[in-house]
Structure 1
């Protein structure tokens, strides 16, 4: 890991400062990151296997869930794009994913079928239609049994399509059903949808296309026009004909020049004892000087964005996990708190588990670290270090940074609100697998671009990680502590049958009784503190271009594309 003389966060509560030399970020400082603090939960990731089920190497794809199965559409099957003057070189057509994958994580089975008429004449699509779906970094949203896509990048242009996919019919077709894929696909074209690298969510029956940009020509030397806005519309879809209405856009704002960001559906207290839905757009890239954005943009139920003044001392400034990654949200109705969990990706600040310090790297290194951004009932933000992906080594004992451009799939039976946010208050005490992370980029160095080591590279991952949320038994009020406040909850509900929102039934027998008191007493004094060290995460990273250091370490990074060579990985 790079040593850096710039000021760094040493302990929770200290401010991460950036030298004015690096003012390309939205702000020159970052808000404190809590290390070893107390939260109502811990989050652990563990690699898991679906047995003999074939899985794709896939990143920057669209995802849906139907009938307990994952549906994967579009994306790319190779690693980080190049930076030459050629779009086809940076985004090789051979690695564009035309396959629709259906994965059953319970049965451990998978199916795939190509939309490309050159691969599968049963797709019923033309090459142009297949290309308009098989993009990278499109925006997507699932509404019931339909998956909707907008935009995406081909390697040379941004697509202007709104695509509807009927999941029941498409899943049946992929699993060997009759007919064609086109029987279950509808499209409409308009410049309103010509966006890549944004996010798309539904609020109050209207679709909101959040930020992103329009790339014309090859990336990065083509024309990039950021939307700087939210584009909204209503979908009109009767299952036969697709159209849209009420298209509108918010005024462009320079501070909304963002893409490849994490946007969360959120819940907030409405001030009257209920909740209201909205969105929060965290961080993202790039400022006009190639920096990261740090101040979140809050979007209300009508799709109106607002951002706190970056110049105010009390404004929250995100320090870690600035790039799109696998993520999930949890909301506690009792506390009025929203928890936004970010798993891996790309970051400006990394925590060195060996020295217990943060290191700022303005070149935005790949990371496997996990953080959460918490918004309390008063709208105050805090950020917390939760840990990291497990260390997975390649055959030369270098580990992979994971999570960027991956997706999270909620597990069957996990209670969620209508917008997909997990109902934290309804999760049981103990360990609960709330879902899985699949795919995304896997990089074997902090920096792949410009690294002189020829074996440093990135790939699209086919790995699956189970995500476990752990809650202390006896923590009845869900504040991360087992203390007298929890005894009060037990006492006030003693003799009651368990109802929604009641957490004093630690024994799980459906009643609040003496058994629950015994569990509380045995755990009295425990705290759900976050990790401050990871024994496995002790590897140091060669600097990009530091060939002497690479030789001195006597270990080359080697992770070839799995499309050509499948290297041996060691899971630890």
Structure 2
């Protein structure tokens, strides 16, 4: 069925709900694009890993890198979302910042940690403070962990966004955690802004660091100085970068300084974004990036129209009101994410695993809520660079359902780490090369919420949950419940017989939200006919 016919069908069935509320006007756009059920040329499955080894550490918003089967975590936070009080020391308590290096061995199921304050680290108080920060811009490449900026408490006890770049030899740092007597300082290089760059070039938090060819790009984010408080901006400053800041490094010579390449000359107002998903992408001019969603507009809403970044770091955004512009409200916050490219299809697929959104599935209905609730569902965004066509899809995958002792469902994905286990040519997964069921990534940690937050703000915690992401090629035929080879009247009858709230995993619950309703009916009708078609 053609895309536009599916979109019309979904609106008619009430799958897409636009409230027209006053809160909606705070967002970048006052309408959102249809969410298409299924319609993706692959399937993803999230499975919880049964861990029978050492206790896993709770952590989110850390710099992290994977070498072999071992994961290194640097900095980050060991508690949930920050508080919203008047006292900065209550909102970001010093005890919640991770001041150790943590290591998880996925093969032996062992965990290790060692304090940065250990005398054998041979690090200064200022260096320890910078390494203990949160929301750094981080990228692992070729055994090196590149970490920019970050928010935390400096050696003088002040809340700051740190200025600087750290280059960490992951294997060497892991060896130090495991007891190597060589100083940790042998494995870390600290750099300031490169020659020719502004002094605040590396003073960023809440952005995303990606690699494009030989360049590193610090994408968007902000510089927040001072303690966070809900009682007015007393003694604080906040400056959004609205910029792509480009530099290069010779990782074979870690002592060599970073080289300044450039930054956005005239930062546009619509790039005032942080805490978002930025992914490597194939764009019309070659290899670039796409920025999805993000917060906050000047009216405390969410950004809905994506930004395309060309190979030279230039940013463009389609007119948000124009027909065909993607207007995203689902999974708009920094989450676990993956980027695919299919040469045969000429399209990118960007995956956001849960997190937060203005638009969420709640009790089987797609709703809009200005409190930006939590989501367990997986969103797929399709971008065809040649024709500049976009669509967004709910692909029927979500985090496995689990609850606390009171029956509150846990929600995952926010600030969660993505540990990719397959090769990424040009920093994207080659969709055409995946021809059989494959574990393509692990998702670890992040912020876990004990409730969705639609009506009441839930308790949040730092997670220590580990999930695997399993890729299955082909869209399959999930609406063919009786496996007859076609979706027909018998499948429709089967769906109607299970209408209402259902247990997790019921086949008729096509979008995996634990409700069989109009959303699943729309998906079945859109798949009507022979599965081969």
Does the pair score TM above 0.5?
yes
Does the alignment pair 1:200 with 2:217?
no
Deviation at 1:12, TM superposition (A): 8.2
Matches of 1:228 and 1:269, distance apart in 2: 22
Partner residue, 1:338: 348
Indicate how the Cα distance of structure 1 residues 337 and 351 shifts in structure 2: closer, same or farther if over 3 A, else same.
Answer: same
Partner residue, 1:545: none
Partner residue, 2:439: 433
Aligned with 2:431 (options 424, 428, 451) = 424
Aligned with 1:260 (options 256, 275, 287) = 275
Does the alignment pair 1:145 with 2:143?
yes
Partner residue, 1:366: 374
Partner residue, 1:98: 99
Does the alignment pair 1:442 with 2:448?
yes
Deviation at 1:204, TM superposition (A): 2.8
Partner residue, 1:327: 337
Q: Is the 8 A contact 1:268 1:337 kept in 2?
A: no
Matches of 1:330 and 1:353, distance apart in 2: 31
Aligned residues: 466
Partner residue, 1:245: 259
Matches of 1:379 and 1:13, distance apart in 2: 25
Matches of 2:255 and 2:487, distance apart in 1: 58
Task: Kindly report the root-mean-square deviation, in angstroms, between the aligned alpha carbons of the 2 structures.
Answer: 2.6
Partner residue, 1:212: 221
Matches of 2:260 and 2:33, distance apart in 1: 39
TM-score by length of 1: 0.76
Where does structure 1 lack aligned partners over 5 or more consecutive residues? Answer: 1-7, 271-275, 473-478, 483-521, 539-572
Q: Is the 8 A contact 2:263 2:313 kept in 1?
A: no
- 1:182 alignment partner, SS class: helix
Matches of 2:257 and 2:96, distance apart in 1: 31
Matches of 2:23 and 2:443, distance apart in 1: 37
Partner residue, 1:457: 459
Indicate how the Cα distance of structure 1 residues 530 and 441 shifts in structure 2: closer, same or farther if over 3 A, else same.
Answer: farther
Where does structure 2 lack aligned partners over 5 or more consecutive residues? Answer: 1-9, 154-158, 194-199, 489-506, 517-533
Q: Is the 8 A contact 2:361 2:375 kept in 1?
A: no
- 1:338 alignment partner, SS class: strand
For residues 172-321 of structure 1, the aligned pairs below 5 Å read: 172-190=175-193, 191-220=200-229, 221=233, 222-236=236-250, 239=253, 241-250=255-264, 251-268=266-283, 276-321=286-331
Indicate how the Cα distance of structure 1 residues 10 and 59 shifts in structure 2: closer, same or farther if over 3 A, else same.
Answer: farther
Deviation at 1:434, TM superposition (A): 1.3
Partner residue, 1:548: none
Q: How far does the alpha carbon of each residue in 1:210-262 deviate from its partner, in whole angstroms, 9 at most, with x for none?
A: 11011111124322111111112222555452412225320211100000000
Q: Is the 8 A contact 1:415 1:426 kept in 2?
A: no
Partner residue, 1:135: 133
Deviation at 1:86, TM superposition (A): 2.7
Matches of 1:29 and 1:331, distance apart in 2: 28
- 2:415 alignment partner, SS class: coil
Indicate how the Cα distance of structure 1 residues 71 and 158 shifts in structure 2: closer, same or farther if over 3 A, else same.
Answer: same
Aligned with 1:400 (options 404, 410, 414) = 410
- 2:151 alignment partner, SS class: coil
Deviation at 1:16, TM superposition (A): 4.1
Q: How far does the alpha carbon of each residue in 1:88-121 deviate from its partner, in whole angstroms, 9 at most, with x for none?
A: 2211111101222222223322222221x1xx22
Q: Is the 8 A contact 1:204 1:301 kept in 2?
A: no
Aligned with 1:162 (options 165, 178, 184) = 165
Q: Is the 8 A contact 1:17 1:29 kept in 2?
A: no
- 1:402 alignment partner, SS class: strand
TM-score by length of 2: 0.82
Matches of 2:456 and 2:484, distance apart in 1: 51
- 2:439 alignment partner, SS class: strand
- 1:169 alignment partner, SS class: helix
Matches of 2:468 and 2:93, distance apart in 1: 31
